[in-house]
Amino acid sequence: MFYWSETIVLLWSYAVKIASAEVFVGGPGKNYVTIKIRTDEGVTGVGDASINGRGLLPATYLKEYLIPCLIGMDPRKTEDIWQYFYRGAYFRRGPVTMAAIGAIDMALWDIKGKIAGLPVYQLLGGPSRDACLVYAHATGSDVEALLDSITHYQAEGYKAIRIQCGIPGMPEGYGVAGDDEDTKHFITDFTGLPKTEIWDTEKYLRFMPGVFEKIRERFGFDLKILHDVHHRLRPREAAAFAKEVEPYRLFWLEDPTPADDQSALKLIRQHSTVPIAIGEVFNSIWDCKDMMEQELFDFIRVSATIAGGITHLRRITDFADMHHIRTGFHGPPSHSPISMAAQAHLNRWAPNFGIQEYLVLGTPECDALFPSDHHMKNGMFYVSDAPGLGIDIDEKEAKRYSHQAHYHPIVRLEDGTMWNY
Ligand code: EZ4
Ligand code: CO
C-alpha cells in the first residue's frame, strides 16, 4: 500500500543543494542588486539587496563573504541559513549585512515555493485578503500643482495618496516635483556629488497644515491621505504639528522625527492621536522593539530588503500585531520589483496588513528585466499565483546594465548647519 503522505516525505527528504549564486548590479535608471541562486537540480530563486546610494556594498558582501558559505547548503533551510549569516557575522545588523542576508532569504523562499508548488503567501499561512491597498505619491511645487497631481492619481483609481508640497521660501524639498528621483519619472540622477537642499522648520510648520485643509476642502474625507516628514522635526515640534493636523484625519504621518531615537515619539503620542508610521531605515527588530512594546506608533515601514528578507519581516510583523501595529512596508522608486514581490506575499498573508507604498514603474525595460504577472488595478495590488515569489530576473537583459555612482541629496539649514535628509 502506498500513501500520498509518504510521497511528500520522500520529496522533502531528497537531498537538495545550492549549486551556484550569481549577483547582478544595475537596471533601467537604477542600481538594483539582485541575487539568483540555483540548486543542483536547476531550481532557481531570486532576491534583492538594493541599497539606494550604496549599491556596491551589498553586492560585494554577497559575492565575497556569503555566497562562498552558501554553496552546498540545503536551500530549504531558510531559518537555519538566516541564523547562520545573522549570528555568524559576529558584527551583527546594519543595512549592508541585513540587505545581503535578506536577498539570500528571499531567493530561498522563492526556491522553497517552487519545490512545494505554492506561492510564498501560501507557505506563510495563506491569504488573508484578495488584494492589497497601495498608495501613490502626489506632489506639487505649490498647492495648485499638488491638487492637480492628487486629481490625476484619484482618476487612476488610487484610494490612498501620499502628498508632499513645495513650501514658499523653501523651493527644494523632499519629495517635491523636480526635486529627486521620487518625482522625475522615477529615474535616478546619476550625475555628480550630492545635491544640497535647504530646510527651514518654521516655514514648514507654518505652511503645511493649510495644505491639508485645502485638500480636505477639495476632496472631502473619503480619500486616504498620507504625509512624509522625512525625519526633519524635533520631538516637541513634531508633537505640536501632529496636534495641529489632527482635524484633517491623515491616514498616517510618516517619520516625524529621526528614526534613530526610539523614545522620540513619546511626546507626539502624549499630544496627538494622529497615526504615526516609522521604520523605513530600520534594519532589524532591535531598532524598534522598545517603541513597539510601548505602542508608540501605528504602522511599521520596514522593507524586505533592508530588514533581512521574508524571515525577519515575518518576525517583525507578528511582533507588531501583538502591539496593534499594522504594516506599511517601504516601496519607494528605488525599490526593486523583487523586493516588492516579497512584500506582496507578506501583505497578502499578514493579518495586520495596513497599506503598501507602490512606485515601481512598469516601464517596458523594467518589465523585461524582471518578468512577472503581479499586477495593480484601481489602487490595489494583486499577487501572482505562480509557485515561489512569482518573479524572475532575465539574465540576458541584466547584462545590459551596470552600477553607476549615485548619492541622495544632503540637507542643510539656511545658516549652513547639516540637517537630516
Ligand atoms: O527617501 O527611499 O517614504 N519614502 C521615502 C523614500 C526615501 C528613499 C531613500 O532612498 O522616504 O523616498
Ligand atoms: Co519615507
Domain residue limits, the chain: 124-388
- Atom 10 of ligand 1, nearest CA residue: 52
User: What is the DSSP code (8-state) at residue 148?
Assistant: H
Atom index in ligand 1 nearest the CA of residue 182 equals 12
**pLDDT tens-place values along the chain, 421 residues long:** 555 555 555 555 679 999 999 999 999 999 999 999 999 999 999 999 999 999 999 999 999 999 999 999 999 999 999 999 999 999 999 999 999 999 999 999 999 999 999 999 999 999 999 999 999 999 999 999 999 999 999 999 999 999 999 999 986 778 886 544 454 445 567 778 899 999 999 999 999 999 999 999 999 999 999 999 999 999 999 999 999 999 999 999 999 999 999 999 999 999 999 999 999 999 999 999 999 999 999 999 999 999 999 999 999 999 999 999 999 999 998 899 999 999 999 999 999 999 999 986 678 999 999 999 999 999 999 999 999 999 999 999 999 999 998 898 999 999 999 999 9
Q: Which ligand number lies closest to the CA of residue 181? A: 1
How far apart CA 177 and CA 200 sit, in angstroms, is 18
Name the phi and psi angles at 35, rounded to 5.
-110, 140
**What pLDDT score does 5 carry?**
58
How far apart CA 314 and CA 79 sit, in angstroms, is 12
Atom index in ligand 1 nearest the CA of residue 52 equals 10
Instruction: Determine whether 204 is an active site residue.
Output: no
Atom index in ligand 1 nearest the CA of residue 334 equals 2
- Atom 5 of ligand 1, nearest CA residue: 332
Nearby residues of 36 by Cβ (< 8 Å), 6 or more positions away:
21, 22, 24, 44, 45, 46, 107, 393, 395
Cα of 254 vs centre of ligand 2, distance in Å, is 6
Neighbouring residues of the ion ligand 2, judged by CB less than 5 Å: 228, 280
Ligand 1 pocket, CB under 6 A:
52, 182, 228, 230, 280, 332, 334, 408
Task: Print burial letters for 10-39: b (CB count within 10 Å at least 16), e (below 16).
Answer: eeeeeebebeebbbbbbbbbbbbbbbbbbb
**What pLDDT score does 9 carry?**
53
Region at 300 (left for phi over 0; alpha for psi -120 to 50; beta for the rest):
beta
Cα of 228 vs centre of ligand 2, distance in Å, is 6
Cα of 267 vs centre of ligand 2, distance in Å, is 20
User: Which of 280, 305, 335, 407 has the most ligand 1 atoms within 8 A of CB, as the residue to mutate?
Assistant: 280
How far apart CA 121 and CA 126 sit, in angstroms, is 5
Q: Which ligand number lies closest to the CA of residue 137? A: 1
Give the cell for residue 12: 522533502
Q: How many helices (H) and strands (E) does the chain have?
A: 15, 16
Q: Which ligand number lies closest to the CA of residue 406? A: 1
Of 123, 107, 120, 113, the closest CA to residue 70 belongs to 107
- Atom 8 of ligand 1, nearest CA residue: 332
How far apart CA 255 and CA 396 sit, in angstroms, is 39
Instruction: Determine whether 174 is an active site residue.
Output: yes
Q: Which ligand number lies closest to the CA of residue 197? A: 1
Cα of 280 vs centre of ligand 2, distance in Å, is 6
**What pLDDT score does 180 carry?**
46
- Atom 9 of ligand 1, nearest CA residue: 52
User: Which of 163, 230, 306 has the most ligand 1 atoms within 8 A of CB, as the residue to mutate?
Assistant: 230
CATH number corresponding to 124-388: 3.20.20.120
Cα of 393 vs centre of ligand 1, distance in Å, is 24
**What pLDDT score does 240 carry?**
98
Atom index in ligand 1 nearest the CA of residue 174 equals 1
230, 335, 345, 406: which is the annotated catalytic residue?
Answer: 230
